[in-house]
Amino acid sequence: MIYELAALPGDGIGPEVTTQARKVLNKAAQKLGFTIKWRDFPFGAAYYLAQGHVLPKGALDDIGSCQALLLGAVGDPRVPPGPLERELLLALRFHFDQYLNIRPAKSFPNVPLPRPLGPGEKLDIVVVRENTEDFYMGLGGLLGPQKTNHEIAATRKLYQFKASLTATLDPELNGTFSVGLLTEPAIRRIAKKAYSLAVARGDKIVHVATKANALPDFYGYWDRITRQEAENFPEIKAIHINVDNLCYQLPRDPNGFGVILCPNLFGDIVSDLVSALAGGLGLAASGNLGDGLAMFEPVHGSAPDIAGTGKANPLAAILSGALLLESLNLKAAANLVERAVVGYLAEGRNLPRELGGPATVERVGELVLAQMDQYEP
């Protein structure tokens, strides 16, 4: 069996960490008798600066002809925040309708936790982040003292959204506004995913992040639909919790948290918080999934300050690779990769620089590869 996979290494440490992840995936393939054909896509800051556009015409369809995408990171100090994130990363998520953003945060051996676990405690949280709506729609504009007219439009797989707004700011003020959007089918499908995942894990509780106290029309609607959807899962109790309270409770006592369902913006924030609880972004993997092309990326971003220094930790990219294999139903290969990462960390020698060890990004890759020989797939 041949799998054609897209690689988009991107910016900063993206190329270094995805190089290691690719080696590990290639080895898993070799051990389990399948073949990976990588297709490289050069997009990111360098491409944008040289070409003047983020993506050429047809690029998304080209990427979409692959079976999955491994992404490194986007973001570069030479490019102001915005174009790369919106026209590359978010464009991929929206174009392929990757509505499920899954971000596991597990404790690993020899990875120190900011709040050490007591006996019998475990940290095994998954943030299920809605990935297409909320304030990530990116809709809005600038306001001024003169009347302004705004035609707002966005296309998603589920719908086309259009709105017109006439606005004035009186007295003479300047400002900006942003329109968030939550739709019933988008809430239902992500809630279904979160509750099904909890059932598959054998959990009894799903925490649903909200902020209905401050925005009752908006997040109250999220609550209503997520509650309705929970009725189809009698084995699950959905506990709605304001996201500020959630951010307070999690560091104090992460026990009792498993699946956390979040709208897009809160999911972005909460997933960084839980990855800190699990020992840092260096191990935080993620998958962006829908009914089409799925994309896998470490949560850590491009970390331009350490690019090229060897300090990057490739484990998040490698674990994202394991999620990629799982999405293609290559469970044995995914397990092999995960066990190799756990086995390497458990030895506690030659840890990544990020974890206080001496191993460079490349050396960590080699050590994970070496572990793979020790396990029967």
Buried b or exposed e, range 318-343, using 16+ CB within 10 angstroms: bbbbbbbbbbbebeebbbbbbbbbbb
Q: Which residue's CB is nearer to ligand IPM, number 262 or number 299?
A: 299
Catalytically annotated residue among 3, 136, 195, 344: 136
Binding window for Mg ion (CB under 5 A); candidates: 104-112, 191-199, 263-271, 303-311: 263-271
325 binds, among ligand IPM, Mg ion, none (CB under 5 to 8 A by kind): none
298 DSSP β-pair partners: 285
* Residue choice 203, 268, 338, 354 for contact with ligand IPM (CB under 6 A): 268
Rg over CA atoms, the chain: 21
CA 264: distance to chain centroid? 10
Active-site annotation holds for 3? no
What is the CB neighbour count within 10 angstroms for residue 188? 15
Closest approach, Cβ 51 to ligand IPM, in A, equals 21
Contact between 70 and ligand IPM by CB under 6 A: the answer reads: no
Sequence letter at residue 345: L
What is the CB neighbour count within 10 angstroms for residue 49? 11
Catalytically annotated residue among 3, 193, 268, 344: 268
Q: Which residue's CB is nearer to ligand IPM, number 103 or number 207?
A: 103
Contact between 299 and ligand IPM by CB under 6 A: the answer reads: yes
Q: Which of residues 72-91 bind ligand IPM (CB under 6 A)?
A: 85, 89
Asked whether 20 and 282 are in contact (CB, 8 A), the reply is no
The residue at minimum Cβ distance from ligand IPM is 85
Contact between 127 and ligand IPM by CB under 6 A: the answer reads: no
Angle of CA points 175, 269, 180, to nearest 5°: 45
Active-site annotation holds for 305? no
**352-357, long-range: CB < 8 A, 24+ apart:** 352/282, 352/313, 352/314, 352/315, 353/310, 353/311, 353/313, 354/280, 354/282, 354/311, 354/312, 354/313, 355/110, 355/111, 355/112, 355/279, 355/280, 355/282, 355/313
133 binds, among ligand IPM, Mg ion, none (CB under 5 to 8 A by kind): none
Active-site annotation holds for 99? no
Structure tokens belonging to residue 320: 């994202």
The size of the interface with ligand IPM (CB under 6 A), counted in residues, is: 4
Contact between 28 and ligand IPM by CB under 6 A: the answer reads: no
Catalytically annotated residue among 47, 211, 219, 223: 211
* Sign (positive or negative) of CA dihedral 303, 132, 107, 9: negative
Active-site annotation holds for 162? no
Catalytically annotated residue among 122, 159, 237, 244: 244
Buried b or exposed e, range 251-284, using 16+ CB within 10 angstroms: eeebeebbbbbbbbbbbbebbbbbbbbbbbbbbb
Closest approach, Cβ 1 to Mg ion, in A, equals 34
Closest approach, Cβ 89 to ligand IPM, in A, equals 5
Active-site annotation holds for 136? yes
Closest approach, Cβ 292 to ligand IPM, in A, equals 19
Nearest to 359 by CA among 107, 110, 124, 25: 110
223 binds, among Mg ion, ligand IPM, none (CB under 5 to 8 A by kind): none
Q: Which residue's CB is nearer to ligand IPM, number 284 or number 333?
A: 284
Q: Which residue's CB is nearer to Mg ion, number 36 or number 273?
A: 273
Nearest to 303 by CA among 45, 46, 76, 19: 76
Contact between 62 and ligand IPM by CB under 6 A: the answer reads: no
Asked whether 320 and 286 are in contact (CB, 8 A), the reply is yes
* Residue choice 97, 133, 229, 268 for contact with Mg ion (CB under 5 A): 268
Contact between 130 and Mg ion by CB under 5 A: the answer reads: no
**Phi, psi of 98, rounded to the nearest 5 degrees:** -80, 80
List contacts with Mg ion (CB under 5 A).
268
Q: Catalytic residue numbers?
A: 136, 211, 244, 268, 272
List contacts with ligand IPM (CB under 6 A).
85, 89, 268, 299
